[in-house]
Structure 1
Amino acid sequence: MTESRLAYRWSQSEFLRASKAGAFDHRVELVDGAIWPVAVGSWHGDTVGRLLATLPRDGVRVTTATLPTGESLPDPDCWVRRIDASPIGTVGSRLSVWAAADVLLVVEVADETMIQDLNVKTRLYGQAGYPVYWVVTQRAVYEHTGPIRPGYRTRVEYLHGERIPVPYADAGLAVDELIAPRS
């Protein structure tokens, strides 16, 4: 016999109220109505630092802000938007909502979260219409392009020694410059 369970789905407003009230004792994000812990660590932080230092910045803004996406409030490790973009709305009083056409690149650094980032967040960001999504792991950068409802049409794996294209800058970056060495 199977046991049925009721799953509670958080709304954005409930999540924001709980966060403001100090209900969470660590960093969390809202993904598809569920509260997810935000994983951090030395390699993760070093890799995010490399991305922030390396991503091209001409005509764009590179940020680590929460990126309201559908009914979720994910915290990508960084993302890039057009410098002249204006928010199309807000969630609560502090979070700006952006048009998919203004979000040029979304990046997640995946150490413990690789399965979620390559599956759930791929679907989330693809459904939102963000044109390029990277998942940076210790061994590769996975580039997702061609957003569609179930995720992305294309995923390409770029390994150490290779270069990954940065379409918004009409440039490429060495994967080795993006991935921090394991200490």
Structure 2
Amino acid sequence: MSQSALAYHWSRSEFVRAWEAGAFDHRVELVEGEIWPVVIGSWHGDTVGQLMALLPRDGAKVTTATLPTGQSLPDPDCWVRRSDAEPVGTIGTRLSVWNPADVLLVVEVSDITTIEDLNIKARLYGQAGYAVYWVVTQDGVYEHTEPTPTGYRTRVEHRPGEHVPVRYADATIAVDDLISSGQ
């Protein structure tokens, strides 16, 4: 008879203590009690750089910091907050907590984690109340809007040849400009 191992679920405070103590030898994030490795390949890295160069900054700050979300500590590839926003709290000694109304856009660049980004992370970010969430893939950009307690009410796919709206800046970015980097 075989017995399956029980998966350990980390609390946010346990994860932060281990992270601050340098217990992890590579970049990780805490998602719903599980530690997920953060894997960055060439296309992914090039696309994040291109995205950060293209996002409007007037009245906004673009960052790659961890974004505490409920009991999870995901590491979005980048996110945008109001430039005048102040943290509403801290976790541990290095992580700031932000008012969801100050978080203007959250972005995951998705190479091998598309299913998780479109489902688990969309639910996390929607539950947190972040207004807009993008998943950038090699095939296009999935834009999530209208956060709800279960995720997002609306998801629109923007394909090559189209533009994705940058709602906080009343602007657009060509999908081709986002997904062609590194290809």
Give 1:149 shift: 1.3
Task: Give the TM-score normalised by structure 1.
Answer: 0.95
Cα distance between partner residues in 2 of 1:176 and 1:108: 17
CA offsets, 1:92-147, max 9 Å, x none? Answer: 01100001100000000000111100000000000000000000000110000000
Contact 1:50/1:180, CA 8 A, preserved across alignment: no
The answer for the alignment partner of 1:158 in structure 2 is: 158
In the alignment, what sits opposite 1:34? 34
Aligned to 1:10: 10
Contact kept in structure 1, 2:104 and 2:168, CA below 8 Å:
yes
After superposition, the C-alpha distances for 1:14-57 in whole angstroms (9 at most, x for unaligned) are 11221223322211000001000101011000000001100000
Tell me the percent identity: 72
The equivalent residue for 1:56 is 56
Residues 168-179 of structure 1 correspond to what in structure 2 (within 5 A)? 168-179=168-179
Aligned residues: 183
Residue 11 of structure 2 aligns with an amino acid whose one-letter code is S
Inter-partner Cα distance in structure 2 for 1:99 and 1:8: 30
Contact 1:29 1:35 in 2 (8 A): yes
Instruction: Show the 5 A alignment for 1:1-183.
Output: 5-183=5-183
User: Which runs of 5 or more structure 1 residues have no equivalent in the other structure?
Assistant: none
CA RMSD of aligned residues (A): 1.5
Q: Which amino acid aligns with 1:99?
A: N
Shift of 1:5: 4.9
C-alpha distance after superposition, 1:51-90 (max 9, x if no partner): 1100000000000000000001100000000011111100
Task: Return 5+ residue gaps in structure 2 as ranges.
Answer: none
Indicate conservation of the 8 Å contact 2:50/2:181, yes or no: no
Q: Residue 70 of structure 1 contacts residue 128 of structure 1 at CA under 8 Å; is this kept in 2? A: yes
Tell me the SS of whatever aligns to 1:101.
Answer: helix
- Offset at residue 182 of structure 1 (A): 4.5
Letter in structure 2 aligned against 1:55: L
User: Quick one: which amino acid aligns to residue 122 of structure 1?
Assistant: A
